[in-house]
Every structure is written in C-alpha cells, then in structure tokens.
Amino acid sequence: MMLGGDVTSQMGGDPFDGFVQRESNFEGGYNMLAEVDQEQCIGCESCPEFCPEVFKMGADGLAIAYTNPVPSECEEAAKEAAEGCPAHCIHLK
C-alpha cells in the first residue's frame, strides 16, 4: 500500500471527479472540497478530532467528509485534519 504522493496516480483518476462545480464564496474565491479515500482510511478518528464540522466516522468505522463544500470558517481545521492524517487519505481541493 502506497501512502502519500500523487493522488491521481494512486487512485487511477481525479478523486474529485463527479463533484459539483464549486460555488463562489462572498469574498470572490472558491470553497474547498474535502474527500476521504475509503480504501486508505485506517479509522484512526483523528480527522473528526481536528474538524468535526466536516469529518465524521461512518458506521463502518471509516472517516467520511460529510460537509461539502467546506465552510470557509472550517478550512484551516480541514487542512490540519489532512496534514495530521497518518494514512494521508484526506484530499482537499
């Protein structure tokens, strides 16, 4: 199992393929999108500790990003969750 590196090459495509086009926020930028690669998630529960507004644990014990786009006030916490993920399975765009 390969952790980190180029997401596109690991997953065989864009992990955000199929996401709806992001909506422009009031500051003229774009809201962040979050995704958890279920095949790489180890269920450590660190992401909801960093950012419970965006991540939660599913019934299968794996993390899911349940709030998309990420609210602008939660973007820094979502980045911390991605950086703190030991499996490197959180992808932000």
* Positive or negative: CA dihedral 60, 86, 46, 37: negative
Question: Which of 92, 75, 91, 93 is CA-nearest to residue 39?
Answer: 91
Task: Match 């996401």 to its residue by tokens.
Answer: 19
pLDDT in tens, 55-82: 999 999 999 999 999 999 999 999 999 9
Question: Which of 13, 49, 20, 33 is CA-nearest to residue 91?
Answer: 33
Confidence of residue 54 (pLDDT cuts 50, 70, 90): very high
21 against 59, higher pLDDT: 59
CA distances from 39 to 12, 22, 36, 60 (A): 13, 25, 9, 12
Min mean pLDDT across 12-16, 49-53, 62-66 is at 12-16
Domains and CATH numbers, the chain: 29-92 (3.30.70.20)
